[in-house]
Chain A
Amino acid sequence: MSAQEHFSSRWGLILATLGMAVGTGNIWRFPRVAATHGGGSFLVAWLVFLLLWSVPLMVVEFAFGKRARRGVMGAFHDLAGPRWTWMGGWVALCATFIMFYYSVVAGWCLRYLWASLTGELTRRGSAEVWSGYAESPAAVVTHVLAMALAAAVVWFGVRGIERVAKVLIPTLFVLVVILAVRAVTLPGAEAGLNFLFTPDWAMLKNPEVWLQALTQNAWDTGAGWGLILTYAIYMRVREDVSLNAFLIGFGNNSVSLLAGIMVLCTVFALNPSASQEIVGANNEGLTFIWMPQLFAAMPAGGFFMTLFFLALSFAALTSQISLLELATRVLIDLGVRRHLALLLAAGTGVVFGTFSALYMPVFRNQDWVWGVGLILSGLFFSVAALRFGLGRLRREVINAEGCDLAVGPGWSLLVGFLIPLEAIVLMIWWLYQAHGWDPQGWLDPFGSETAGTVLAQWALGLLGLVVLNQRLARGLKRSCAEEMP
């Protein structure tokens, strides 16, 4: 890494990392899951797991990036040992495969931003726009556009990422606040607030509520994905770790809460009779079909619809930028020059993402396989931290010079014991869920959302990484030696 590649300030780092954490999952998944799993009771469980999963893992990621100053694979190689490089490779693999199809999602958001700006959504109707666009060549075009926009930012390295985050993230916060205020002031909006906040305490006895709350934290805070580690490479030398981790966790969940209020108040105020159907729809159904219809029914709806898709596009693009930077950084650590590494990562993303853009079953398959894979990534971070030594990580990195908030032995207990337990339970539960969806074909390796496809693709990925482990470790060691003066 060149000496001048650092975030210019703490706020640059925080805004870029918030941009990574706040994605479409905050806006299109959180409101649905919260509403369908006990409202207020779900929110309690969601807060608990913010502290028992997301924040402790974010501390690990910040600490790894600050200490190793290398991407995920290099950090695992340096801190856990060369024999464990494959684990870092897994984290990189998972995030890179997500980057391939997330670009498709960012493309959808851009397409709908354009359609709301030009009035096409109101004229043609959202369902018609979606049916003509999804799985069509136009979806490939917007996927390429989203990848190109993210690549244009990553091209300029950390300076580019910081500059873009400093504009997009404060704007995103303002947009979400405006939309939430508009939604709350609609006649009948209090039904949405009742739905979101009324606790059903009996639901807290249901393990599914806790597992969904844990899943939401694992998927929408970005903890354990390797993305925070990637940005932490560019931290200033005397930068804090744990206060920054808390800031990102609470900042991310603040946006989720605003999005929940915005979506549910809009739904209950404008179409209360279909509210159950709307919150029961999938992510794309809620966002690209129902929300435009609801906005069209409110005064100045076209304006607010544009703000909504602008916010969604900003959230998607800033997350796409971090995913692309992660893949680029891994290649840089293997000795590839930044611009070539970026072109390789983005080019591969364009090719692989095209399948997800053209075929929804492929998109759903990849979302399912690598979404659950992220939980395994979280487990691997715990294992790597244990290998390095939790006490040593606290002493030498987290609570060292520049620390604004010291962490105690409780953090070691969480990372060394509770997070591995949470990860194992969560993975087993999701695979068991697949059995419930399709009891006959749940082990089919060629199914779209089966346990079989998860296990088959994971096995291929893990086997490849374990076989290549020595070669990857040698590549990382050689590139590290070349950087030495």
Chain B
Amino acid sequence: MTSLAVVTMLVICGTVWGGFAALVVRAVRRESAKVRDRGSRLPPSGPAPEQG
């Protein structure tokens, strides 16, 4: 392969595949943070208060 083709391949593939991978990682992190956030808003677990 010519060096120009190698450089272009690295730049293009790096941007597209690297960009996609980075976006997936960001989405995974944000989803985990949302799950943690929802968990911390739940009332503390324990026996339900007796009725009546």
Contacts and interface: CB of A to CB of B under 8 A. Distances in A.
A254 B2 CA distance: 23
Main secondary structure on A side of the interface with B: helix
Contacts of A190: 1
Given A246-B23, A404-B30, A43 B12 contact: yes
Main secondary structure on B side of the interface with A: helix
Contact of A40 (B8, B20, B31): B8
Interface in B4-52: 4-6, 8-9, 12-13, 15-17, 19-20, 23-24, 26-27, 30-31, 34
A257 B17 CA distance: 9
Interface string A51-80: 000000000000000000000000000000
Nearest to B22: A250
A253 interface: yes
Given A247-B27, A254-B16, 13 more contacts: A43-B8, A193-B9, A194-B1, A197-B1, A197-B5, A240-B27, A243-B26, A243-B30, A246-B19, A253-B20, A254-B17, A257-B16, A402-B34
B50 to A, nearest CB: 32
Interface string A232-257: 00000010100110110011011001
Given A194-B2, A197-B5, A404 B12 contact: no
Contact of B31 (A10, A246, A251): A10
Contact of B20 (A196, A240, A251, A402): A251
Nearest to A50: B16
Interface of B: 1-2, 4-6, 8-9, 12-13, 15-17, 19-20, 23-24, 26-27, 30-31, 34
B42 to A, nearest CB: 15
A404 B9 contact: no
A407 interface: no
A243 B15 contact: no
- Nearest 6 CB-CB pairs, A to B? A40-B8, A250-B20, A197-B9, A197-B5, A404-B30, A198-B5
Contacts of B27: 10, 14, 240, 243-244, 247, 404
Contacts of A251: 20
A347 interface: no
Interface string A402-431: 101100000000000000000000000000
16 contacts: A10-B27, A40-B9, A43-B8, A193-B1, A194-B1, A196-B9, A198-B4, A240-B27, A243-B23, A243-B26, A247-B20, A247-B23, A250-B23, A257-B17, A402-B34, A404-B30
A358 interface: no
A243 B27 CA distance: 7
Nearest to B12: A43
Given A10-B27, A190-B1, A240-B30, A197 B12 contact: yes
Given A247-B20, A250-B16, A250-B23, A198 B8 contact: yes
Interface in A178-209: 190, 193-194, 196-199
Most interface-central of A196, A197, A243, A254 (chain B CB within 10 A)? A197
B15 A47 contact: yes
A265 B15 CA distance: 21
Contacts of A240: 27, 30
B3 to A, nearest CB: 10
B20 A254 contact: yes
Contact of A253 (B8, B16, B31, B34): B16
Contacts of A257: 12-13, 16-17
Interface in A2-33: 10, 14
Contact of A194 (B5, B17, B19, B26): B5
B5 A40 contact: yes
